[in-house]
Structure 1
Amino acid sequence: MHIVLGIESSCDETAAAILTEDGRRVLAEQVFSQAADFAAWGGVVPELAARAHVQHLPGIIAAVLQQAGLKPQQLNGIAVSAWPGLMGSLLCGVTCAKMLAARLDLPLIGVDHIAAHLSAAAIESQPLPYPAIGLVVSGGHSHFYHLDGPASMRLIGGTIDDAAGEAFDKAAAMLGLGYPGGPHIDTLAAQGNAKAFALPRSLLHSGDLRLSFAGLKTALLYAVRGPCGKEELKLDKQGICDAAASFQAAVVEVLCRKLLAACRQHGLRSVIVGGGVACNSGLRRGLQDLCQEHHLDLRLPRPQHCADNAAMIACLGIDLLAAGQCHNLDLSPLPTGAAGPRATPA
């Protein structure tokens, strides 16, 4: 039975986790988030994120080993988020993983961070159904994939401008809310009227799988801050809740309708969704209602495994290790937008 250590440092979460092959069971996991540190900046500062990874990663790895009651020599592999992401942040995790793999003479598994978000639905759950349509919705990605296996994915559509998570953050800023914006929008939307603001659903009837959230974001800006987008926010608390609910409803409707279109176009009835936005309660309800109505098999990660975490890295790492898809110690991280290197047989 394989026991794999996963390391995640692609953006501003420093994380480590240990999973077993048996049911993808989590033996230990820890996440150190820098979100509060970046609230004053309104977003991630790459240099500061990388420094925090260097500071916290060794201690987090030691902590999960202690929590799991394991010695490093009892591990069977080291999986690390290697692409895509912020280059400085990725370097921290990959360098640490390479040092551990060399020191312990263990297989090194470079993991595609996006594929891992989809594998998160398998953590302490049933094996995922393939082939399937995959949807990754996060701060940097909003894309549809045709999935033939855990690491076999083909891009079939996605955003042509902002990612859904980025749009949530910017909408929250317009409404005077904190960073990250997604949780604030989600909380206030539950108290608001989703029909209070008439916001657009861009590309909803385009006939393809393109997404666009830039127009929605601009429409919200004009609705709450005037036709030039520069007026003071004059909404009361209920008005802000209504704006949040209207914005969230627009995003959810577009994602759900496009996901259904993807299933129909590709003749598939299994759906796997991942990414930080997948913990949004409105989206989860929308997906569940959609899949129940159309008899689709929906797989969602638990909310704690939607945002960046190391359990998803270890989960996909277990599949890659079993398939012999490991890397040499010359593994190099690749930035956002790059395609991952081919693994070499173990």
Structure 2
Amino acid sequence: MTHSFEQAMAAFRPALPLAVALSGGADSSALLIACAERWPGQVCAIHVNHGLQQAAGEFEAHCKALCQRLNVLLAVQPVAAGAAPGQSPEEAARSARYKAFESLSLDGIGQVAIQSIALAQHADDQVETLLLALSRGAGLPGLAAMPSHWQRAGIDWYRPLLRVPGRAVRDWLRARGETWVEDPSNGDLRFTRNRIRAQLMPVLEAQFPAFRDTFARSSAHAAQAQWLLLEVAQGDLAAVGTPPQIRALQQLSAARQANVLRHWLQSEHGCAPSAAQLQELQRQIAACTTRGHRIEIKVGGGFVRRSNDRLHWYNPRVLAP
């Protein structure tokens, strides 16, 4: 069920010291204020300046003033968030942010060795993420939306506000007389996420008042199912080998074969095949009944190739097997 801002913060128990990702908007400002008051001297802030809009300077100035008032150490990291081919500007900016968060935290901020990072996405952001995943025909990883806690590079990452409606965060700030910087791009309806927030969310609120809770439950079910598929994939990959043996793959059902191929490509090569690429790869595996059968299929940023009795993935721009 949805929580108040106070309930969410009371339940939040990260490993300290903690870094808060601070954009200067309402959500991250509220999160930093609450954390700094609860754990004085144990909280730092990280502000990533993408330099992508005129308001970037205003965001940075707000973050500096807020951290000075809270006596919180602030690390400001400028990044170049140019989009790679096939990557949206939003994806490029998000990737640059996470790399900056991770780099600063691993190196330490000042003399502080960061143990946890807190991000300020709330329940409305979670709904928007799920709806975007549905609109793109995503599988279970997309439908699971955003996790509330995970580990990466030895750091604990948290989203403590995922059960808090966005309006509750802003109400908490207003009640305290706090200010924030409004991102001017939030009103730009060219972005799908903004259209969801401005046009679709009010309809959901009117027709299904509990939609934040029910959508969150669906995402939790998807996340649980994805963990189960991961366990199956890990066992199957151990059985078929790394790189996978073609004959062993052929002994699996189509669903388990697809599952283990996705896991192999992602875990070993950081490659996410499209549905069409995976389907063609499975068709070729099924047809591979002679020694002379050749397999070479584009998958992600590289190719899957048959070599003797096994499959290999390679990037021709780096090194072929």
Q: TM-score, normalised by structure 2?
A: 0.27
More helix by share: 2
More strand by share: 1
Q: Which has the larger radius of gyration?
A: 2
Q: TM-score, normalised by structure 1?
A: 0.25
